Structure formats: C-alpha cells, structure tokens
A and B are shown apart, each in its own frame.
Chain A
Amino acid sequence: MTVIDSDPQPAPAPHEDRHSTPEAVTRLKRARLADRTAGRLIRIGGLGVLVAVVAIFVFVGAEALPLLRGARLTQGPELKAASAVAAVATDEYVAGVSAVLDTGELVVLDAKTGAVLRTEAVLPRGRNAVASVDVRPNGQLFVAGSADGKLAAAWVTPKVKFDAQRVRTVTEDVELTEPLAIREDGGAITRVAARLFEEDKVFAAVAGPKHLSIARFKLGAARARVATLDAPAVFDQGAEVRSLSVALITDVFRVFVGLSDGRVLRFDAEWSEEPALHESIEVSKFPVTALDTLIGGETLVTGTSEGRVASWFGVRASTNAQSWDLTRIRNFNDVGAEATVVAASARKKGFAVFCVDGSGRIDFATTGDTRVSIPASGAPATAASFSPKNDTLLVGDASGRIRTFAYSDPHPEASVTALFGKLWYEGATEPEMRWQSTGGTDDFEPKLSISVLVFGTLKGVVFALLFSVPIALLAAIYTALFLPTRIKAIVKPTLEIMAALPSVVVGLLAALWLSPLAERNLASAFAMVPSFLLCFATLVVVWALLPRHVRNAWTHSAGVLGVSAIAVLLAVALAACCGGVVESMFFGGDVKAWMRETLGLGYDPRNAMVVGFAMGFAVIPVIFTIAEDAISNVPKSLWAASEALGASRWQTTIRVVLPAATPGIFAALMLGFGRAIGETMIVLMATGNTPILDMSPFNGMRTISACIAVEIPEAPHGDTLYRVLFLSGTLLFVFTFLCNTVAEVVASRLRRRYGRAG
C-alpha cells in the first residue's frame, strides 16, 4: 500500500521491476517498523488498562482486607502480688498496674518489671476484702469492702512528668478515702460495685450474702449516705447475692444484682433519689456468678456457674411502648466452667469473661463472635479489666498472679452477619439490617449493614430503569426504523447531548426543583401517567384519521416532532389542570394524607420516584444511543427480505429487526444498568440518603456510591467505617465487573445465535 507510486511514469518498461529497487525495500522496511511499533504501543496501552483496573481493584480491596483480621492478643509480663487479687486496673499509659488484694491492701506495680512501686492499706489489714474498680480515662476508682462491713475507696491517678531528655515517667497518685461503716449490723461485705459520678462522687452498691445497700459519698468524705435496698423476699427464699454491677447512664445509676437462684435484680436510682427495684428476670437455673454492663451501660452480660454467657438489654414490646424489659439478646459460647469475672471493654461493645480455671475469652457483644481465647492460669480468675485505651487486658487470679496481655482488635464490628445479615442492636425491638455508622458518643454502637446500601443501590437502579428503559427503547426503535433520516440527524445528537449534562446539574434540578414541585403537586404528578397515555392515544387516533398525503408530508418533515411536542404539552397541561380536581374527588383533598391513612405509605419529598425520574434522565441517552445503533446496524438486506415476503413494517420490526438487534439492545440495557448503579451525584442529592429497607417509591434510599461520597471524608483513616466503605466500594466494583462480564458473555452468545447482526 505504501509502495504505490502515484507519479505518472513515463511509459514504464513492460517488465520493469518496481518491487526490488532500494527505495521500495526501504519503504517496505519502514512500513514494517511502523506496523511493529504501532502494534507494540497498542499492546502496551491495552495491558496498561488491564493493569490499571486490576491495580484499582487491588488497592480498594486491600483497604478493606484488614476487616477480616481477627483480634490479636499477646501475653505480656506476668506480675505477682502477695495475695489474691480483688480488683486490678492500669492507667492509660500502661505504666503502673494497681490492684486491691483480698488483704485490703492497694499495691501499685511496675507494668513491665512487676516491681512493687507502692503499697497502701485501703482497709485495715485483714482477710476476705472484696473490691471493684471503675476505670476512667483520668484514673481508677477502687472501692473495697471488708468482712466487717466497712467500705473504703482509693482514687488512683497517673501523674506524668518529662525529664530533661523528654523521657516520660508516670507515677501513680493515690487518694484514699477512710473506711466508712456501711453495714450497721457489722455483717460482711461480699460483693461491691461502684461508679464515679461528677468528678468526686462515689455511687457504690454493696452486698452481703443476704444484704443489699447503696452507699453514696464524696471522695475523702468521712460519712456516706447509705440506703438499704429492700429485697428480703428474695433472700427469704434462700437466694444469695453472687455478683453485682453498677452502670451509669447519663445520671441514672442502674444496679444489677446476680443471685444464686439464677435471677438478676435491677434497681434504678439517681444520685439524690432512693433506689427502687424495677425488674427481676430469670437468667438461668444456675447462680449468676458474674455480670457487668458494657460501655454505654445498656447491655448487660451475665455469666453463670455452669459457664453460660448471655447478653441482655431493654427491649420495648413495640416501637411506641413506654416501658421496656430486659430481654435475652444473644447467647455466647459457653466458657466451660463457672464464670467468675466479666469485664467490659473500654472502647467498643466487647467484653472479657473468665472462669474458675483462669481461662477466658474476649467476645464481641454486637455480633456474638468470640474474638480471642485466653489460656488458663491454673487459679480462678478473680479480677479483670481493660486499660483506658483498650490496648491491654489485665487478669488477676486467686493466687495473686496478674497477667497482662497486649490486645488489639480494630474491627470487631465487621463480621459477615453484621455486614450482610440481621443483628439485634441496642434499643431495637428485633434483629434488623441497619446502616448508622456514627453516633454522637463514644459508646455508640455502629451499625454497618452493607445490605442496606446494596438494597438502596438496587432500588435506585430499579426505579431509574423502570422509567428509562421503556422510553429509551421505544425511542430507539422509532428513531432507527420510522423517523426520516433528516429528522433522525437532529434527534439523535440532541438526545446524546443529554448524556453530556453533568449529573450534578441533574441532581440539583431533581433535588431543588423537581422534588418540591412534585410534592406540591402530587396529584398532578400522579395524573401525569394517565394524562400522557390519553394524549398520545388521542394523537394516534387523530393521526390515523388524517388524509394520507398530509401524513406523508408530515412524516417527511419535522411535523411529526411538532405534533409530539404538542401532545406532551397537552398532557402536562391536562395533568396540571386535573390535579386539583382529582385530588379533591378521589383523595379527599389531600393525596399525602390519603396515602398515609389508606395505603399506610409515607411521602418523603426526596424519594425513589424523583430519583427514578432524574437518574432515568441520565440513563436514557446511554440506552438510547447504543440501542439505536444496534437497530440501525441490522443489515438492510434483512429488512428487504422481510418486506419482499409481504411483511408489514411492524412485522418486520418485531420479527426480524429486533431479534437481530438483541445483542446490541441487551448491551445497551446493561450499560444503562451500569450507569445507574455507579451514579453518585443524582442519588446523593435527590434520595435524601435515608438508609432504609423499603421498596416504596415515595421514600428515599441510600446507595453505595452516595454513602461513600457522604461518609468517606468523615471516616477516620483506618477505622472500621473507613474500611467498610472501601469494602462497599469493592463490592460496587465487583458488581459492575460481573455485570459487564455477564453482559458481554450473553451478548456474544446472542451474537453467535443471531449471526452477523449486532
């Protein structure tokens, strides 16, 4: 091709060899080089695209991958105290480990070396002291009770100093509250639990085997306000107190008492108010030997003498019910032996549970998963707590050993059930799928159900396609087969320009113009459907009545467009006029009220209907263009063959052209689907972003793409939410990928089946 010489040769010799001259050879070589270079460049380009796609997938997937990582627990130094540990805690630096022993002493040990840094007598030296600890970000409140009915408190706070080399040294300050006589009868205190309230107030629940009282005092005070709780009926039946816990929810103290008959009592009190018994629930047939409330105070975890562990929280009988009852939410794996300690995690809704052989486990309450197991120590675990930063777990046992574990579990919330299934979240009336990624407080329970987002995405797509597919396909058929070439040359580019409209503009219009308009004129919006059908049906009838030459003249000019435009305007005008009448005639003057009362449907201004309309607007050009091309590309010879056999235009369209164009039409639909599924701005602006599972066209949804756009700027880097968003992005990627692959496979099959067309 490159060797053709266009210069007129002056009478070439009949057998002149023009193909082996040096110029020809050079030219051929150059052409070959160009071919090879182009081939390589194209191959590099193609491979580059493949690599880029895979790289994006790998990057996005890699961000989500750590969600799969389980908890990590590594045993740290083992510390030794002189006697059985009654309560143990550490500061946020994990510098000093403080423990109250059953001798009534408080010891502060170096967390690394185990060296005794400090020893204080909280109670007069004796035996069988009990204690509990409330670990706060700024210190640890130990409360200890003695066998002779006295209660003492120790407020341990870390003091941080930096020396000249900027080396940090942490020393523990101890502020003791002298023993206060709580039990007038001098009976033993066998269980104690306390919470610090407003800086320096201590709310302590105190129990003997058959005694319950509440002591309230200020740190350092010489007296306590004591209220004996009235539960003699329980004690008369032979029950004894086996475990005790106090939760503080805003300013209400909730006291849980685990009894030897398997029941748990709940008392509620405010600081200045007398406690009252609110509930008594049967947890088990066996003694409730350990209990604690998780962060936030709503969820109670109980452990029994035969090793059963369960979580409970208040559930309202119905959404509108005033009162709630503690309900068993979840059973965890058995610990195998008597549970002795339950310790709530300091950051998330996890907890550690230990039993008599010193073995234990960390479970995550929201999902019910066991995150990690802790080996037995040989002696019964008697105390456990997490450090304020939740990075260290301390376990004390009856032999005075304190084991420390470095603990890390960044994404306990991301289980398969949490992401894709139903979970029973705090405060809910039943297990559900929910997306609520952030709350106002640290003790918020994140609800990260990707299913909700997938549902929202599909809902948006379904409504968009419901609106756009019929219009786009009919328009494509009409344009390709029935419209004169001259008008087609105007119509097609015009529709394609629709695709160039930035989706943010479409979204803006949908959110700020269409959605209020539709809400104000809801009846008219509904009337639009019959109105359009009526107007176009009338148009068709009128058209058929027109004389043939008028019709011919109009089909060849833009007249047909003008007529259609008039029909559209008429339809809109009719709907607008009829709206009010229809509303008062059929809907009692208010469509929204009628919907709510008769159909039980709410109406959100930003809803799937509006989104379907707006996103459909964005999808129509995609489907239209490709489908129109596919139909136009059906060989004219097929058309001629069908017509020559006496088929009408419509028969030819239905029986020959459309089947032959099926692969292309299918590809158009899949592309439209892909466009709708990945669409962000329109759904972001027009859906209201309400993460609800409801197929109603009159409320919103939250799609994956919009959710990523909204939440990724606020998601802390490396946080569970951040990774879950990346996971949903990966899902979207896989979804689109599968969609396109399936589309391609199906299209190529159809192509093979329908031969050359498409």
Chain B
Amino acid sequence: MPMTAEGPISTTTPTRLDPLQPQRARPTDDPSAGGDAVKIDVRNVSFWYGASQALWDVSLKIPARKVTALIGPSGCGKSTLLRLLNRMNDLVPGARIGGTIALDGVDIHDRKTEVEILRRRVGMVFQKPNPFPKSIYENVAYGPRIQGIGDRARLDAIVEDSLRRGALWNEVKDRLDQSAIGMSGGQQQRLCIARALATAPEVLLMDEPCSALDPASTAKIEDLIHELRSSVTIAIVTHNMQQAARVSDFTAFMLVGKLLEHGPTEQIFTRPTKKETEDYVTGRFG
C-alpha cells in the first residue's frame, strides 16, 4: 500500500493553480451534455505518474444524473481519469496533475475540499469486487459508521435501503451477519455497489465493474445501473462496447491519454466524427 503522501498531490505546471485562490469553475452549457446540468467539469487535465505522462489536456463534462461511459483501448488513461475524479490517485508517489476538476463548480483540489468528504460525495466501485472480510451488514454499514452514524435503527435503515438499491436485499436479507467473502462474485460486486451507495453519493464511479463477472451477473449490474441513473450521476469505464452502448447516455472515447471524442452514446456508436473512434467501436482494433 503506497501510503506515502499526506494531503493532496501537488498541482503544478502546465496550468499551475494558485492554492490560495481556488478557481471556481463556471457552470457552462455544453452542447454534448444536451443542456443538462454539469456535475463534474474536467478542464484541461494533464496527469503524470512521475516522469511519464498519462493524460494530455483532457476536458470532459459529465452531466448530472446521466451515465457517462469512458471507452478506449487498454492503457488509454480512462481508469486514471476516473480515479482522478475522487482523488484516488492522491497517494500514488510522484503523481502530479495539471488543470482543474470541478464538482458542482468547486475545484476538488481546493484547500477547503476535504478529500474524505469528496469521496463520500463521489463513490467508487472497483474492477474486482473488494468486500471487506466482515459481515454483509458491516460491509454496507462501513461508510455510514465512518461518517459517525452509530444509531442502530438508522444504520439498519441505511443498510436495507442500500441493499435494496443494490438489488441485493432479497438475496441476503436473511444472512446479513454472514461473511461477505462467501458470496458469489456478482453478489460481491453488487454488495460493493450497495456499500458505495450507503454513503449517499452524488456520483458513482465504476471502473470496469463487470469485467470479473459472468454474463448473468453482468446483466444484473447493468439493470442496476439503469435503476440508479435517476438518482446518481454515473461514470463508468468499460471495455465492453455493447455494455457502453446499453447503459450509457454519453460516451467518451480515449486514446493514448487523450480524449478523442465525446458525445451522446448513440452518436458515438453510429456517427463518430473521428476515424479512430469508428475503428474502435466497430472492433477493428482494441
């Protein structure tokens, strides 16, 4: 565990931010966002792992209560971009960021932004299910407990609600005290989603949430994404074109650290403006 840095990673050139003067990004209308309110505004973000640059001047607006899919071949930087949105890359040694990322118009690297609060607002689901080696109940209750909710009745309510939203309640309601490790992979991933929902996030980041799952489980997760769309902004990284087409409202195509194209999913998959996009979505490379 690279628990090295304390505090946010340094934000340096090329667009160095003055830490004393947080930039307040203006909410803007974006044609690709179809007039919806912008939840997360990524502006000219570049990112370095030490000496190697992973992202080049990426700008992306993620609209509220929509599903945005990030697609692209392996190593194109889509996971890196996703992890930047709730500052999961903070602790990577030698990481550096340029540009700004604003959540509801407030820079997430602002000194006033507590990273813990940010992450409660922007939850995350990982590629491989990673439930804690605790009971199902304790897994879901973890986030609320961290937030200082100790009242049992309230916890029970949150747990039930989260599991219901995670489409898992009916399967586990009789064995909440059993270890989460004994569940199937699909159940574990839905538990992880329920766990993330328990902190009442506004945004849910999903990093290839179905890549380790079988088709049946994948279908359940996709249904779940459909359900959640009405209440949560979702950004999903996926390798699966069909999945992107099925679940997302908007799609962003990335290639070697650059955002090549961004628009409504239907447009990206049917009338891409760039040749690379077309090649990729039609499976000619990837």
Contacts and interface: CB of A to CB of B under 8 A. Distances in A.
Contacts, number: 98
Interface in B174-209: 179, 181, 192, 195-196, 199
Contact of A635 (B130, B195, B196): B130
B192 A632 contact: no
Contacts of B91: 643
B88 A644 contact: yes
A645 B119 CA distance: 6
B43 interface: no
B133 A755 contact: yes
B117 A548 contact: no
A264 to B, nearest CB: 74
Interface string B127-147: 010111110000000110111
Given A644-B119, A646-B199, A660-B133, A639 B128 contact: no
Q: Chain B's interface: helix, strand, loop or mixed, by majority? A: loop
B18 interface: no
B123 A644 contact: yes
Contact of A552 (B3, B6, B116): B6
A646 B5 contact: no
Given A484-B93, A637-B126, A646 B133 contact: no
A349 B225 CA distance: 89
B128 A640 contact: no
B130 A640 contact: yes
Interface stretch (A164-172, A585-593, A649-657): A649-657
Contacts of B3: 481-482, 639, 649
A398 B202 CA distance: 110
Contacts of A551: 6
Given A637-B128, A643-B119, A555 B133 contact: no
A655 B145 CA distance: 10
Interface in A628-648: 632, 634-648
Interface residues of A, number: 38
Query: Which of A481, A552, A635: most chain B CB closer than 10 A?
Result: A552
Given A485-B4, A485-B93, A753 B147 contact: no
B116 A648 contact: yes
Most chain A CB neighbours (cut-off 10 Å) among B4, B117, B192: B4
B4 A556 contact: yes
Nearest to A632: B1
Contacts of A754: 133
Interface in A647-675: 647-649, 651, 655-657, 659-660
A648 B142 CA distance: 12
Given A484-B4, A639-B1, A644 B86 contact: yes
| Interface SS majority for chain A | helix
A642 B7 contact: no
Given A556-B4, A641-B126, A647 B116 contact: yes
A636 B1 contact: yes
A756 interface: yes
Given A646-B117, A647-B116, A647-B146, A756 B133 contact: yes
B181 A645 contact: no
A51 to B, nearest CB: 37
B283 interface: no
Interface in B5-37: 5-7
A645 B133 contact: no
B103 to A, nearest CB: 14
A757 B128 CA distance: 16
A646 B119 contact: yes
Given A485-B93, A646-B143, A753-B133, A640 B126 contact: yes
A552 B4 CA distance: 9
B179 A646 contact: no
Interface string B91-121: 1010000000000000000000000111110
A485 B93 CA distance: 9
Interface string A164-197: 0000000000000000000000000000000000
Given A646-B147, A651-B146, A637 B130 contact: yes
Nearest to A482: B3
B2 interface: yes
A645 B123 contact: yes
Contact of B5 (A480, A556, A753): A556
Interface of A: 480-482, 484-485, 548, 551-552, 555-556, 632, 634-649, 651, 655-657, 659-660, 753-757
Closest 10 CB pairs of A and B: A755-B181, A755-B133, A646-B120, A637-B130, A644-B124, A754-B133, A645-B143, A646-B119, A641-B130, A646-B116
Given A647-B142, A647-B143, A657-B1, 12 more contacts: A556-B4, A643-B91, A644-B88, A644-B126, A644-B196, A645-B195, A645-B196, A646-B119, A646-B120, A655-B146, A659-B133, A660-B132
